[in-house]
């Protein structure tokens, strides 16, 4: 049985701990109204779906080359993705890279790991 692998991206104004990220992820998962429009999230979604289109935009044959287990959950301020487990190694580096390019954190709820954009790490280190 294939287990899906979940990831979420969103913008954060400052530091965020794994516990705070887990709490925010839980809020997103309850499908409460979005906080605000985040242009970085929108740009991330547009670039991501150029690489891996949404399932409803694909033919049955094309779906075999898709990492998505189901439709992406896209809101004004976050994106939650369910990857097929066998696609994780291929898709995760792209997701992480695009999140960094757009200044978004990437949260992995399976491991409670927060991936901070590289430019934010540089600001912290200085």
Alpha helices, DSSP H, located in the chain: 18-29, 39-51, 88-101, 118-125
User: Where in the sequence is the domain holding 87, given as residue range(s)?
Assistant: 4-125
Average pLDDT over the chain, rounded to an integer: 87
- What is the tally of structural domains in the chain? 1
pLDDT of residue 125: 37
pLDDT of residue 34: 66
- The yes-or-no verdict on residue 121 having pLDDT over 80 is no
pLDDT of residue 119: 57
Give the confidence band of 3 by pLDDT, cuts at 50, 70, 90: confident
**Model pTM score:** 0.86
Nearest to 103 by CA among 9, 11, 7, 15: 11
* Other C-beta atoms lying within 10 Å of the C-beta of residue 110: 11
The distance of Cα 41 from the centroid of its chain, to the nearest Å, equals 9
The residue assigned the tokens 């429009």 is 37
Q: What tokens does 92 get?
A: 């995760």
Residues 41-65 have a mean pLDDT of 87
Give the confidence band of 14 by pLDDT, cuts at 50, 70, 90: confident
Residues 38-61 have a mean pLDDT of 90
pLDDT of residue 56: 81
- The yes-or-no verdict on residue 31 having pLDDT over 90 is no
Distance CA 74, CA 45 (A): 8
């Amino acid at each position: 049985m294939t287990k899906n692998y979940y990831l979420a991206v969103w913008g954060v104004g400052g530091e965020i701990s794994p516990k705070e990220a887990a709490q925010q992820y839980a809020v997103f998962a309850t499908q409460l109204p979005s906080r605000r429009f985040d242009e970085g999230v929108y740009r991330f979604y547009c670039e991501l779906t150029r690489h891996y289109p949404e399932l409803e935009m694909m033919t049955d044959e094309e779906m075999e080359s898709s990492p998505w287990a189901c439709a992406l959950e896209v809101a004004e301020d976050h994106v939650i993705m369910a990857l097929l487990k066998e696609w994780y190694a291929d898709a995760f580096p792209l997701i992480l890279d695009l999140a960094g390019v757009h200044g978004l954190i990437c949260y992995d709820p399976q491991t409670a790991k927060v991936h901070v954009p590289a430019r934010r790490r540089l600001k912290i280190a200085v």
